Structure 1
């Protein structure tokens, strides 16, 4: 995500500039348009984006050809500087060009906030630095805790599959990941087909995919993370990066390893919290005659306290509940699990009276977790009669969607659970028409829109009213349409501190 807007150009003596490479920045024509060289007015920074600015003497600087008799001499710079001064200017220009490149690439990498995006950016930037066109990165943390993945640049899934058929010991990234001899650092294979000991399967795959050379580097991080994986860049013709390119890619990969280690921890935390939340929520919704159910749940990387439940009750009744616990992280997820389990017990004992269920839940929360509050809504449904009795504690009102109406249910106003010494509010009765769907949701659905509450409610009402008629027979399709309309462009799937819960019940 380092969007490189420009290249730094340094004005040096024209004849010498024609003889010398001006640095690796010239490899980035694909990234940037050219602008005026005003960036060179800034002083040379001692350190750029966490990268040591000490760069070895550029190998690309070529000494001027000796002057022989009869050869016209090249005049010195108009400023009157001598030959060595011009060479020094050229050398400094190369350093600044390369440091600018590293600065821009590391900033681009820093802006990636997911592991797949960071790996793709690593491949793109690395390919430009080493002068390759294709490559792949294999993520296999040394602690074997995952996640393990392989991502390619210019290589399709089938191509990666062909590469995986080669014995790992015959591949450069395999020697790095397995800790085999010669896999401790970078591995350059400048001409694969000229190697006598090349594995026959590797030779076949290289010929099939059309690469003749490779350059591999380990991905490592300091501290407990250790080795994270390996990156390989592939050349179409026999080639290998020079000393200067190797130095620059080494600096970049060292920084990338630290960034990948941070994203790896975030990914593991996200997966852990998602697993915990899913285990505490219903694994499947019950099948009850007369009603169809569907639920959608989205949680952030730290895990949240939004939950839902649907449980069969005596006398062919059905209990529906949604709620939200304050906070986020493991403690909120654990509190959500305790609250949901307690509500299930109260619903089985006295579910026909939603006020009694929430009153017991209020007392439990106040006695066991006085520092925490929660919202909840419980509905006692009689599918045969299409009758719903519900009560809410600081929760959003349900939304009824049918052929003749789309309206919010008027529930009694009440504070959240844990906010009053004694909670009690009257219940509300609702009779659904055949084919109508009742939507229960948490306030995270409204907060994710980024709009004020009244505007978010209006948008939710419009999204429900706009469900196409062919979709109204399927509560899952209704829930998906509402999510796509209310949170467009995949906003429902992005990381957020706000959980989303949407429970749809369609009465036949």
Structure 2
């Protein structure tokens, strides 16, 4: 048995394996590179066996096996890569749809659609036009990466020449996306469109329609069985380009969901507008002029419409009846109940306004008889400016706040239940004497709840806001109310300063200011 060194056995094994996988020539080349340093190449070259009819000195034939890099991947690997791409696309689409679902207004939704669409089609700028086909509005235009002046330039292009204009003004039938891969090079386009494109620096566009294809959302927006048009979105490329088929498919799926979301927001927006109009009609169109006092009121309707009210009614002998209140529930039914309750309170105030307890007792009896399923909070005050006195009674209502140069304090009222919660309501009245130059603030609890804080912190915030009214505006009750509202309520879409808990509610807010001269 031959005694072969271990190193030689390894080299031979490696050479045989290389011959099987990569061909003879590659094996020889790899073995030649293993020559130890300092030895001549000729001495380490392999000694090919002598076979009859074959000259060993003749060069080896060309490589017959393909390199590993050129081998075709197995079908399973291609399918796995394709599935991974689909999963990635669906994940991205799901994240974008979740962000869109978090929007609560049409303008926010249009802005989110532009951002998501730009990411899907690979564009940097875009324009969304919301224009329901029924013509009932509301109409809106939002831009992405476009200044106000640039939006004005786009509006100078004839509507029929723009891609989104062709989608908005189409006739019956489904709409297809409109691609313009080379705006500057297409001589058939409107010259004004090419001029604006060159001025704004975009060279291509891709537009998709926004509209429902039927179903519940379409019916909610007065659509037909074949769907309804809501608007269009267009994205602009800096260079001549066109989205790939995969990008077209993704943005089409996203636009389909976005259209349904826009239809629901449109229904909600129109409901809010109708409720706000109804509420404004049921509240005083203007406050009366009463000698010795100046009045100002503010009313902010919540997104669902509530039953908050305020009122100021001139009474005999120079007196004035003041009231604020809130009916439980929301929506048109609560607004209608508020109107009935406020009208009844005015009648009771005319008959027995000098006794606020009697007024609220009559109101409580009416509420139990006519609105047994509802409750309400209310505060009624009988003010005599000539005497400088106010007598008030409250039913489950927040206490008034006196604001003046020398004091800022809440009025101590007796604790009582809201109207409709007890078989017989009655609570003692409270009398106060505001000084000349002081303002009495009446408000609903929606002002406190909208802060998103616990009630004790909300009362403290309201007190601090009233105490910080600048001296220069204390003579104007309207300016006092505006200052307090700005200090207490957060800006639109923001949380109040210092608030780390949950966001505020969406209740109605009513504030009535009475300044005594």
Compute the TM-score of the two structures, normalised by the length of structure 1. 0.79
1:100 to 59, 67, 91: 91
Q: d(CA) in 1 for partners of 2:459 and 2:485?
A: 13
1:58-105 per-residue CA deviation (whole Å, 9 max, x = no partner) reads: xxxxxxxxxxx899966359xx99454554444333323322221221
Distance 1:212 1:81 in 2: 39
With over 3 angstroms needed to count, the CA separation of the structure-2 counterparts of 1:388 and 1:73, relative to structure 1, is farther
In 2: Cα distance, 1:313 partner to 1:279 partner: 22
How far off its partner does 1:398 sit? 0.9
8 A Cα contact 2:120 2:247, kept in partner: yes
Measure, in 2, the Cα distance between the counterparts of 1:380 and 1:262: 46
Deviations along 1:348-399, one digit per CA (max 9) or x if unpaired, are: 3332332232232223222222222211111122223322121222222111
The alpha-carbon distance between structure 1 residues 390 and 248, as it changes in their structure 2 partners (threshold 3 A), is: same
Contact 2:477 2:514 in 1 (8 A): yes
Q: 2:274 aligns with which of 272, 275, 280?
A: 272
From the superposition, tell whether residues 70 and 259 of structure 1 become closer, same or farther in structure 2 (CA, over 3 Å): farther
Tell whether 2:157 aligns with 1:166: yes
Counterpart in 2 of 1:150? 141
**Does the 8 A contact of 1:351 with 1:357 survive in 2?**
yes
Structure 2 partner of 1:16 = none
Corresponding residue number in structure 2 for 1:498? 507
| 1:164-183 CA distance string (max 9 Å, x none) | 23222111111111115998
Partner residue in 2 for 1:453: 455
Aligned to 1:395: 397
- 8 Å CA contact retained: 1:175, 1:183: no
From 371, 374, 377, the equivalent of 1:375 is: 377
- Distance in 2 of aligned mates of 1:366 and 1:452: 30
- What residue is the counterpart of 2:115 in the other structure? 124
Check conservation: 1:483, 1:492, Cα contact below 8 A.
no
Question: Which of these two proteins has the greater Rg computed from alpha carbons?
Answer: 2
Match of 2:482 in 1: 480
Kindly tell me: are residues 507 and 105 of structure 1, through their superposed partners in 2, closer, same or farther at Cα, counting changes over 3 Å? same
Structure 2: distance between partners of 1:74 and 1:118: 54
Partners of 1:86 and 1:346 lie apart in 2 by: 83
Is the CA contact (8 Å cut-off) linking 1:299 and 1:496 kept in structure 2? no
Q: Greater shift after overlay, 336-345 or 287-296? A: 287-296
Distance 1:160 1:70, change over 3 A: farther
Paired residue for 2:285, among 275, 283, 294? 283
Quickly say closer, same or farther: Cα 1:270–1:71, change in 2 above 3 A: farther
Give the Å deviation of 1:429: 1.8
SS at match of 2:289: coil
TM-superposed deviation, 1:307: 1.0
Q: Distance in 2 between matches of 1:375 and 1:192?
A: 63
Tell me if structure 2 keeps the 8 A contact 1:300–1:498: yes
- The alpha-carbon deviation at position 489 of structure 1 amounts to 4.3
How many residues are matched? Answer: 438
Q: Name the CA shift for 1:178/1:386 in 2 (closer, same or farther; >3 Å).
A: same
Contact 1:291–1:507 at 8 Å: present in 2 too?
yes
Q: Out of 384-393 and 433-442, give the one that drifted further.
A: 384-393
What secondary structure is seen at the aligned counterpart in 1 of 2:420? coil
| Stretches of structure 2 lacking an aligned partner (at least 5 in a row) | 1-61, 222-227, 497-502
Counterpart residue number, 1:346:
348
Could you say what secondary structure the match of 1:194 adopts?
coil
Distance 2:515 2:154 in 1: 50
Residues 323 and 381, structure 2, Cα contact 8 Å, conserved in 1: yes
Distance 2:457 2:207 in 1: 53
